């Protein structure tokens, strides 16, 4: 196949993928029933994929690319659709965060809610190469700092953050920038509604080493979990999934240093920086 379906750039990634699936099937002269009979996939499942109602696993697109002999066309369109899905889930998470009454966060690095402006800029500008990208970075910095306003809300949410010691052992920016960040972490621990804990490296390997986890509870008791890793994220809304995420968080909290010891640990890191 030498060309992708026309107007794919005017559609959502999932719709473009669905059109490509339908196009390839019809070009092969097969009905959905025939395709289901020749593959291991159910007819209704294949229909939902073509209608853009569902996003498959990558392996399904790899199978169908081989079946249609379409190179990696479906895989490439699937990757575009997948990125869009993650963006939509992140937008929904961002909609829920400002109204959360309870927040539990685990991060490998300095969490966005506690980053200073200079550290946020350093972390967000790592891959910038053009003036346009630099402008985009500034917009992202403003957005990240804007999120921190929820800590000044009245009433402010109950916020518990577990931060891997790794975050404190890898300085960001110049010494002055990093010391200001550590001082800010110490200041944040003074807030009544904030509990900050450090997960020491002596804990060893743990199950959340490949990403971050945030749990949000709303005033009405409803809860969601947002898991991030490798530049992608997943919003979990099913109660069973949220419960599993909470248990995962609890397993991280158990070996973490108590709040007072965590504060002393950060002070120690700041003192080491000045020596």
Q: What pLDDT is attached to residue 144?
A: 87
Q: What pLDDT is attached to residue 208?
A: 86
Q: What pLDDT is attached to residue 8?
A: 40
Please check whether the domain covering 8-85 is classified as CATH 1.10.10.1200: no
Domain boundaries, given as residue ranges, for the chain: 8-85, 100-114+147-274
- Model pLDDT for residues 142-186, shown as the tens digit of each residue: 888 888 888 888 888 999 999 999 999 999 999 999 999 999 999
Q: What pLDDT is attached to residue 5?
A: 42
CATH homologous superfamily, domain 100-114+147-274: Endonuclease Chain A (3.30.870.10)
Residue 127's pLDDT band (cuts 50, 70, 90): low
Q: How many CB atoms lie within 10 A of CB 161?
A: 24
Cα–Cα dist 2/249, whole Å:
48
What is the pTM (predicted TM-score) of this model?
Answer: 0.68
- Model pLDDT for residues 221-244, shown as the tens digit of each residue: 999 999 987 666 788 999 999 999
Cα–Cα dist 52/13, whole Å:
9
């Amino acid at each position: 196949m030498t060309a992708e379906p026309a107007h794919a750039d005017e559609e959502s990634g999932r719709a473009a993928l669905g059109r490509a699936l339908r196009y390839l099937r019809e070009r092969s002269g097969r009905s959905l029933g025939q395709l289901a009979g020749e593959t291991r996939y159910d007819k209704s499942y294949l229909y939902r994929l073509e209608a853009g109602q569902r996003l498959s696993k990558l392996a399904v697109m790899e199978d169908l690319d081989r079946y249609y002999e379409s190179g990696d066309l479906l895989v490439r369109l699937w990757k575009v659709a997948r990125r869009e899905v993650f963006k939509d889930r992140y937008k929904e998470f961002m909609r829920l965060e400002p109204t959360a009454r309870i927040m539990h966060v685990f991060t490998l690095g300095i969490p966005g809610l506690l980053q200073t402006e200079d550290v946020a800029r350093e972390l967000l500008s790592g891959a910038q190469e053009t003036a346009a990208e630099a402008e985009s970075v500034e917009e992202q910095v403003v957005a990240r700092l804007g999120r921190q306003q929820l800590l000044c809300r009245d009433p402010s949410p109950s916020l518990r953050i577990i931060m891997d010691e790794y975050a404190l052992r890898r300085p960001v920016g110049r010494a002055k920038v990093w010391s200001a960040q550590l001082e800010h972490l110490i200041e944040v621990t003074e807030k009544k509604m904030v509990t900050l804990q450090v997960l020491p490296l002596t804990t060893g390997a743990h199950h959340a080493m490949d990403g971050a986890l945030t749990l949000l509870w709303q005033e009405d008791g409803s809860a969601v979990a947002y898991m991030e890793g490798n530049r992608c994220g997943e919003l979990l809304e099913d109660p069973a999934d949220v419960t599993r995420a909470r248990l995962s968080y609890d397993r991280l909290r158990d070996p973490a240093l108590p709040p007072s010891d965590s504060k002393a640990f950060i002070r120690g890191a700041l003192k080491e920086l000045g020596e």
